[in-house]
Amino acid sequence: MGKSLDLLFKEIESREEELVDLLKELISFKTPAPPARNTSEAQGFIASFLQKHGFSIDRWDVYPDDPNVVGLLKGSDSENYHSLILNGHIDVAEVNENEIWEGDPFQAVVKGGAVIGRGAADMKGGLAGALFAVKLLRESGIALPGNFIFQSVIGEEVGEAGTLECCKRGYKADFAVVVDTSDLHIQGQGGAITGWVTLKSDQTYHDATRRNMIHAGGKLFAASAIEKMVKIIEGLQELERHWAVTKSYPGFLPGTNTINPAVIEGGRHAAFIADECRLWITVHYYPNETYEQVAKEVEEHIRNVAKGDPWLREHPPQFKWGGASMIEERGEIFPSFEIDPSHAAVQTLVRSHEAVLKKPPFIDVSPTVTDGGWLADAGIPTAIYGPGDLNNAHSVNEQLSIEQLVDYTKVILSFIYEWCHTKRSEKSFEIVNNAPEMTNNTLKS
């Protein structure tokens, strides 16, 4: 690292209070999801911040009052130097009215060397550190040869995948870092997909006919969809146990690939035999699997279970997978991705981490899911790297160590500088690809 970066590290230390104030300001924007539809003001702040520091801005509504913001800083020699995406979500976990916080969750306080407030760890700390790094780089007059894209997206907490919308809009780079909660580990992740399994009768029956459908000689070929769903749940449990025995992935405890029967709905009221039952499941899978693959495995197994039951053979289960929103569609997808420790950008991030913390980082897998899967799914090599730990994410009195925030800011500043100053060994794709022309017209949705 050059002397200029060492001076910037010292400046981060001397301006720690300013960094903390930036995080506190981000926390002050109330952006919990659910209910969502509340990020416009926060995204306006980030758009203005980026524009002030030379970025051209693309802002558009993914949902009403929930816009994405993408800032582009064109490199001075983008044809020959590597490009970078930094990605983070502006929404935070919901706050239940019965939670006992020390104060207002959206008026952050500093206590015991930590910033306490909703989103401190997940993940406004990551956004604050990355934005502050941008500010110092731009104030120092350092030019980046490679293109630098900053994405502040909506909807991650409820599966609304603002990041997916950025990918659909055509944003690409040679590497992406999702600045989400990783405790400064460099991580890939498993994936998750939700699905609905539906059983439905082609006829409805009064509850007084129950005897005819369950006792000898009743001669009524019918069933309660709720009771038949029990067989489906048992089948899912069998598959879950089979996966635990036959599948594994380094860094995950055996059986992490789970099938959770999360919600069950069915029946009309007490005077009817239940003619429909719906089961909402969440399937977690490993980084070397895809959501299409695991959904197919679940369907095949459950259809075989149904073939062993006379009524289910005639009324086979129906499946609906995923969705673009837990709020709008009651469904979500988080693709998995593997991390390549030998990738040049990962090695650059490792060196940046070592230079600041004087020890190598952990390279492993996240036990949760992030938007990083959508970037990887779009063909962009991706890693998760951010401050904060999962014990604090979504928690009452959520907090982030100021020391870790400072360390993270140094690392991410160093990485932005080093990667965007790294020459491409061979020509790669256009950075912004089919993305719209970006202008300095701030805050126009």
Is the per-residue pLDDT at 377 higher than 70?
yes
| Residue 156 is among the residues annotated as catalytic for this protein | yes
User: According to CATH, what is the number of the domain 3-189+337-420?
Assistant: 3.40.630.10
Q: Sorting pLDDT into bands at 50, 70 and 90, what band is 304?
A: very high
pTM check: above 0.85: yes
Tell me the β-bridge partners of 365.
188
Give the CATH class of 191-333: alpha beta
Q: How far apart are CA 288 and CA 301, in angstroms?
A: 20
| Residue 91 is among the residues annotated as catalytic for this protein | yes
Count other Cβ atoms within 10 Å, centred on residue 25: 15
Q: Which position among 58, 66, 91, 180 bears the catalytic label? A: 91
Per-residue pLDDT reduced to its tens digit, 182-237 = 999 999 999 999 999 999 999 999 999 999 999 999 999 999 999 999 999 999 99
**CATH 3.30.70.360 segments of the chain:** 191-333
34 or 426, greater pLDDT: 34
**CATH 3.40.630.10 segments of the chain:** 3-189+337-420
DSSP string, 327-380: TTSSB-EE--B---TTSHHHHHHHHHHHHHHSSPPPEEEESS--THHHHHHTT-
Q: Which of these, 114, 136, 141, 131, lies nearest to 11 by C-alpha position?
A: 136
Q: Which position among 58, 66, 122, 156 bears the catalytic label? A: 156
Q: Give the list of residues 6+ apart from residue 255 with CB closer than 8 angstroms, or none.
A: 240, 243, 244
Q: Please tell me what DSSP assigns to residue 91.
A: -
Q: Give the list of residues 6+ apart from residue 335 with CB closer than 8 angstroms, or none.
A: 191, 290, 291, 373, 374, 376, 377
Per-residue pLDDT reduced to its tens digit, 155-183 = 999 999 899 999 999 999 999 999 999 99
